[in-house]
Structure 1
Amino acid sequence: MRRRTRTSAVLCLTTFAALLLSATPASAAELPTGARSLESVNFPGRYVRHQDYLGRLDAVTSGSTAQVKSDATFTVVNGLASPSCYSFQARNGQFLRHLDWRVRLETNTGDATFRADATFCAVAGSVAGSVALAPVNHPDRRVRHRNFELWVDVAQDTATFRADSSFRLTAPWTPKTTRGPVIPGLFADPHITNINGRYYLYPTTDGYAGWASPYYKAFSSTDLVNWTDHGVILNHGPDVSWADNSAWAPAVVAKNGRYYLYFSGGAASGDTGKHLGVAVSDSPTGPFRDALGRPLIRAGAYSGQAIDPMVFTDDTGQSYLYWGNGTAYVVPLNADMVSFDPAEVRDITPVGYREASFVFKRNGTYYFMWSENDTRDEDYRVAYATGTSPLGPWTKRGVVLQKRLDLGIKGPGHHSVVKAPGSDTWHVAYHRFAVPAGNGANREVAVDRMTFDANGLINPIVPTP
């Protein structure tokens, strides 16, 4: 039986994850994300499935029950412990992981041990088009079937073992029937924008205990439905000298022919505060580099946490930085986009404000939006106000996005808004508890329409499954 101390496991996995973030193994293979089923190479017609929460290999046919088909369908997602690898999420929201070398299904706890046990790197299988799965924390082992049970065994250089550990990814036995999430896996705090006619999405990587993810990814789309994963664009470990975790709530803006990424970060060395930083790139998909080598706003410089940055650029070309948790702040940015006059910082906190400021302009009216309550609360929601300038004054208009329990949607919030170029068509990106089995640290990203009434007020946003 495996026994590991928490301290040694965390240290080992932190080091291993850093290596994985910096390089992909030479034998790695790429898998398509999204709903898939996994068919055995040497037992065609038998598929990976879970039964009583244990992984097995069973026959599945068109005549199988709906439950069997569902149990044999998984969503291939961003690796919980490494973006270079993959995790497999069942239709009930749980993940395949190995424990005492047995493959089973469990709810993501977000700790380093679970995330590593539930992350598998794809390598070439025994026949063309097949893959084998190597646990990220035990790369010398492979997922293989033994007496039709799934185990993680030491790799053997035999034809039988290679066949037992090889699988083909096929069309899912249970196709996806809902719109969300728009990007497979656990992500939150999405910032959506349109750059040169293409939509870009920058989320927090979720699924970590304490929201301790160290990196950001970028996704892009032409239709808000099909998204391209551009990989890691900033990793706090090697890329940011003053932060190594808590990579929260990125926001990207194009200005001066460059792209500026505003982000929050913390350090594991006893520094419990969150700082706000800025990174820069020549491409909207990075890589980004820390522009200052220090925080733009240090923890404790203003009341509340220095998190959830957002930048709005007015028609005049002036850009404004918004941020805050508990207290909402705004300040005009200097032309360099990486500095401001502290004397110009203004408190614009509305009643009910918690975090996640977002500002946009439509038909001469400024809209200031934010999230209320706690992101771990199913009543996390979005409210807004209108004003006559980027600095206010603001008139609160009410809540426009909230839970929909009849569809299992809880905690929709921390949103951003984008307008389709050359139109008056608007969309809102937001996170919610993953459906099903999600919570405030296991969240997913959705995108829905946002409309206005004849007076320019935002109609209630209807979250869709």
Structure 2
Amino acid sequence: MRSPALRRTRLAALLALTLVPAALVPPAEAAPTTIALGRASFESVNYPGRFVRHQDWLGRIDPVTSSSSAQLKQDASFTVVPGLASPSCYSFQAVNGQFLRHRDYRVRLETNDGSAAFRGDATFCAETGSVSGSVSFTSYNFPQRRLRHRDSALWIDTYQDTALFRADSSFQLRSPWAPKTNTNPVIPGLFADPHITYLDGRYYLYPTTDGYASWSSPSYTAWSSTDRVTWTSHGVVLDLGPDVSWADNSAWAPAVVAKNGKYYMYFSGGAASGDTAKHLGVAVADSPAGPFRDALGKPLVRAGTYSGQAIDPMVFTDKDGQSYLYWGNGTAWVVPLNADMTSFDPAKVKNITPSGFREASFVFERQGTYYFMWSENDTRDENYQVAYATSTSPLGPWTKRGVVLSKRLDLGIKGTGHHSVVQAPGTDTWYVAYHRFAVPAGNGTNREVAIDRMTFRTDGTIVPIEPTL
């Protein structure tokens, strides 16, 4: 569910659309379309060889060729990401990490401030273009206006039912002039708190949707892959508000586990009343790709029941089939789950808080050793990092071993934390998924998801993980 302010903006725009003259309404044959996520360049339909680019922060179309400078090729390359205001639309992120947005109808490049206004201004919905294979983009919050070039400058202009306007507002997606060369981020866009797992022969990622002020995103998406490199988006799999009666914002840090022939998503959400408290809930689905539905109609762990915030759930299932729920911010809690996976005995809740613990519990077992991992410091701090402890039991007691994942300033990598771990089936090969400040222009609410190898010494301790670009 969108924020009230953004919903009002969208409604006003839709009402405005009903009031414009018929000649200004897009033709009936214009239809929504989809485009591929990832790096691309956009070529003008009626000026072949001219591409959308930014110059001095302003959007325009200019000639780009194989002999153009490296800087011009970068300026004409964008990453197509799920729309900041709506995952069914699109946003365009430049190589420098900023986004194309319109302000006073002029298209320019700016840093995402997380506000509803910015997200709406930086989101464009795709429609079929004027020639075969081309695409047009309507403004998310002014749907009667389209992205078009006028005197080489990019604007969002009110639709005109003319051949010239349709051509000026149509683009061909081309291979990027500056292709992505780094492994990370593994999924395009602003995401954080990734939970990675292996289900039904595929790897699945369930991240928090980032880029919202105060981390107020209302929905979760799912992504899957066979090789941890190429990821398929399954779209929104749980949308607070429509899908959850007791929460409509702050969809934070999910975790998904398979049990009883079902898939359970544990998640945090803000109360629909506007209360800032976060509650922990559980949703269930018949497929790891969702859709998930609220299993209880109420929180599984209500805010204030235990010290610290009721956030960052994680479920570990031991070899004997017993599943354990971990959660907490400031205090780390664990409890055995009942067989139904949606309840537990409050008398069995245990405090296992280690020194330095902030949030993001994660537990796994390897060769008889249990590993309890967590994040330290604040997610807005470049020193956000991952530490761990070991035990002979999923309940502890735990022996702290130290920090294993932290920033790497020589590569501009900051804020490495809120991780999860997955084992490649049938091997002793392990991977860690985590978020970091988006490189190069990210911060604590503009984060991206990375995956790197995790290895072990002969004594079972974890070798410090090197974050990579």
Q: TM-score, normalised by structure 1?
A: 0.96
1:371 Cα deviation from its structure 2 partner: 0.2
Q: Deviations over 1:169-209 (max 9, x none)?
A: 10000111111100000000000000132100000000000
Provide the residue aligned with 1:39 in structure 2.
43
Q: Give the counterpart of 2:156 among 152, 170, 178.
A: 152
Q: Deviations over 1:221-253 (max 9, x none)?
A: 000000000010000020000000000001000
Q: Secondary structure at the match of 1:12?
A: helix
Are the equivalent residues in 2 in contact too, given 1:10–1:112 (CA < 8 A)? no
Provide the residue aligned with 2:418 in structure 1.
414
State the alpha-carbon separation in 2 of the partners of residues 320 and 138 from structure 1. 48
State the alpha-carbon separation in 2 of the partners of residues 203 and 325 from structure 1. 18
Provide the residue aligned with 2:113 in structure 1.
109
User: Please, which runs of 5 or more residues in structure 2 have no aligned partner?
Assistant: 15-28
Cα distance, 1:48–1:204 mapped onto 2, change above 3 Å: same
% same residue:
74
Provide the residue aligned with 1:228 in structure 2.
232
State the alpha-carbon separation in 2 of the partners of residues 229 and 270 from structure 1. 30
Q: Give the counterpart of 1:64 among 62, 68, 76.
A: 68
Q: Give the counterpart of 2:199 among 173, 189, 195.
A: 195
Q: Secondary structure at the match of 1:414?
A: strand
The one-letter amino acid of 1:295's match is: P
Q: Secondary structure at the match of 2:410?
A: helix
Q: Does 1:142 align with 2:139?
A: no
Q: Secondary structure at the match of 1:69?
A: helix
Q: Does 1:295 align with 2:282?
A: no
Q: Give the counterpart of 2:183 among 164, 179, 183.
A: 179
Q: Give the counterpart of 2:242 among 222, 235, 238.
A: 238
Q: Secondary structure at the match of 1:237?
A: coil
Q: Deviations over 1:285-311 (max 9, x none)?
A: 110000000000001011100000000
State the alpha-carbon separation in 1 of the partners of residues 234 and 97 from structure 2. 25
Q: Give the counterpart of 2:449 among 445, 449, 452.
A: 445
Over aligned residues, Cα RMSD in angstroms?
1.5
Q: Does 1:12 align with 2:16?
A: no
State the alpha-carbon separation in 2 of the partners of residues 248 and 46 from structure 1. 41
Are the equivalent residues in 2 in contact too, given 1:187–1:204 (CA < 8 A)? yes
Are the equivalent residues in 2 in contact too, given 1:13–1:113 (CA < 8 A)? no
Q: Deviations over 1:325-349 (max 9, x none)?
A: 0000000000000000000000000
State the alpha-carbon separation in 2 of the partners of residues 339 and 398 from structure 1. 33
Cα distance, 1:15–1:381 mapped onto 2, change above 3 Å: farther
Q: Deviations over 1:69-102 (max 9, x none)?
A: 1000000001000000000000110000000000
State the alpha-carbon separation in 2 of the partners of residues 124 and 156 from structure 1. 15
1:267 Cα deviation from its structure 2 partner: 2.7
Q: Secondary structure at the match of 1:441?
A: coil
State the alpha-carbon separation in 1 of the partners of residues 95 and 430 from structure 2. 31
The one-letter amino acid of 1:259's match is: Y
Are the equivalent residues in 2 in contact too, given 1:258–1:282 (CA < 8 A)? yes
State the alpha-carbon separation in 1 of the partners of residues 221 and 13 from structure 2. 19
Q: Does 1:398 align with 2:402?
A: yes
State the alpha-carbon separation in 2 of the partners of residues 12 and 291 from structure 1. 33
State the alpha-carbon separation in 1 of the partners of residues 191 and 53 from structure 2. 25
1:363 Cα deviation from its structure 2 partner: 0.2
Q: Give the counterpart of 1:307 among 305, 308, 311.
A: 311
Q: Deviations over 1:6-30 (max 9, x none)?
A: 985564359999xxxxxxx982111
State the alpha-carbon separation in 1 of the partners of residues 206 and 367 from structure 2. 27
